[in-house]
């Protein structure tokens, strides 16, 4: 059942969004204190970007600033494009912890406000394990989920192009694309003006292996993998059978994009795929089953084995149930005429090949 399709009042949505953002920041502050304990990363992912943004704006090469033994001592190099650094430039002048809180608060509040346009039930995403990971590591995923449904935020997908392309599958309409392409191009121009060679440096950073002390063995596949490459992962691609539905396109695209499978990239999916309160709650609970199932399986042989195990748990506890949810719905929805023509062409090509066989 759908809990409610009645739109809450705007003041109520603003108040709830502010409250959820405040709780997220409080949780982050508590975790920041725990960073002093052994076994916990000393910085968030955002801290690397914040530091490298300061380097970029002072004329330095941000990709030479972060990594093992560098100015920002971190197990891995900067893996974000310079467009991400330009996007967070307004926060670079703030103290790190203030900048982290502001970034997290904005992304959380924006997502909460946008999700409640048709009811409160989509707020279940904030009870999920992926969102808790997004808080502690200060990730882009809440903000990118908000960008999927708010064209004026679409330009932010340029900060994470791989996930951004998957987000574009959710809303490929002209207004959204104009914001995404125009804003993304502006970020890229600013990045080239500040560091003309950033693309080569970024691609080089992506090709680097993490430091030896992270436990990554040379025989493993690497940090980044697509869920469809996991055992049984191809089943998620069945979502394309409902290609007219935005959540089906998003699911298939996100499952095909390589990323670190620690869970936080599931935030857009848990926010946007459910169609009912029961589905949203089921996915939130499933995400915690995946989190604790992964934890009980420790220790793992190395860091990549750990990431792979997290991906397998996420696949079977979250992505496969999502696929079943999507397949239970009719293939209905508005799509651009160009997408409809492309789908018709593909269907005709498949029929011709089938008849020839």
pLDDT in tens, 130-152: 999 999 999 999 999 999 999 99
Positions of the chain with pLDDT under 50? 1-4, 39, 211-222
Whole-angstrom distance, CA of residue 213 vs CA of residue 319: 32
Q: What pLDDT, on a 0 to 100 scale, did the predictor assign at position 352?
A: 67
Q: What pLDDT does 56 receive?
A: 96
pLDDT at 216: 40
Beta bridge partners of 72: 66
Give kind and range of the element (H or E) at residue 345.
helix 337-356
57 cis-preceded (ω within 30 degrees of 0): no
Name 318's Cβ contacts closer than 8 Å, sequence gap at least 6: 266, 269, 270, 283, 286, 287, 290
Distance CA 59, CA 66 (A): 15
Instruction: Please give the pLDDT value at position 348.
Output: 66
Please name which of 253, 47, 275 lies closest in space to residue 164, comparing C-alpha atoms: 253
* pTM, to two decimals: 0.89
Helix, strand or coil, per DSSP, at residue 72: strand
In whole angstroms, what is the distance from residue 82 CA to residue 199 CA? Answer: 8
Q: State the Cα–Cα distance between residues 227 and 231, nearest whole angstrom.
A: 9
- The residues facing 66 across adjacent strands are 72
Q: Give the per-residue pLDDT at 182.
A: 96
**Which two tokens mark 41?**
């990363």
**Within 10 Å of residue 16's Cβ, how many Cβ atoms?**
18
Condensed to tens digits (0 to 9), the pLDDT of residues 8-55 reads 999 999 999 999 999 999 999 988 766 655 545 668 899 999 999 999
Look up residue 184 and give its DSSP letter.
H
The angle formed by the CA atoms of residues 247, 250 and 251, to the nearest 5 degrees, is 85
């Amino acid at each position: 059942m759908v809990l409610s399709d009645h739109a809450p009042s705007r003041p109520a949505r603003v108040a709830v969004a502010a409250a959820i953002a405040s709780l997220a920041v409080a949780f982050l502050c508590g975790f920041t204190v725990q960073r002093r304990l052994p076994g916990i990363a000393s910085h968030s992912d955002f801290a690397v970007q914040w530091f490298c943004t300061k380097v970029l704006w002072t004329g330095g090469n941000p990709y030479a600033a972060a990594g093992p033994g560098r100015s920002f001592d971190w197990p891995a190099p900067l893996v974000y494009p310079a467009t991400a650094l330009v996007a967070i430039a307004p926060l670079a002048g703030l103290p790190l912890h203030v900048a982290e809180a502001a970034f997290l608060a904005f992304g959380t509040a924006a997502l909460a406000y946008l999700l409640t346009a048709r009811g409160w039930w989509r707020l279940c995403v904030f009870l999920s394990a992926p969102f808790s990971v997004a808080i502690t590591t200060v990730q882009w995923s809440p903000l990118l989920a908000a960008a999927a449904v708010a064209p004026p935020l679409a330009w932010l997908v340029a900060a994470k192009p791989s996930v951004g392309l998957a987000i574009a599958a959710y809303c490929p309409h002209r207004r959204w694309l104009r914001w995404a392409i125009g804003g993304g191009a502006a970020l890229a121009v600013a990045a080239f003006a500040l560091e003309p060679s950033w693309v080569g440096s970024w691609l080089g950073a992506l090709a680097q292996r993490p430091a030896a002390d992270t436990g990554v063995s040379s025989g493993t596949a690497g940090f980044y993998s697509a869920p469809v490459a996991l055992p049984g992962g191809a089943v998620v691609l069945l979502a394309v059978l409902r290609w007219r539905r935005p959540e089906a396109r998003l699911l298939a695209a996100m499952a095909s994009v390589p990323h670190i499978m620690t869970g936080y990239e599931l935030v857009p999916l848990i926010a946007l795929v459910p169609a009912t309160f029961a589905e949203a709650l089921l996915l939130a609970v499933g995400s915690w089953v995946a989190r604790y199932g992964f934890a009980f399986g420790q220790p793992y042989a190395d860091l990549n084995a750990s990431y792979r195990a997290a991906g397998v748990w996420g696949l079977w506890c979250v992505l496969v149930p999502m696929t079943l949810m999507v397949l239970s719905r009719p293939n209905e929805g508005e799509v651009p005429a160009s997408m409809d023509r492309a789908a018709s062409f593909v269907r005709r090509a498949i029929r011709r090949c089938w008849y020839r066989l």
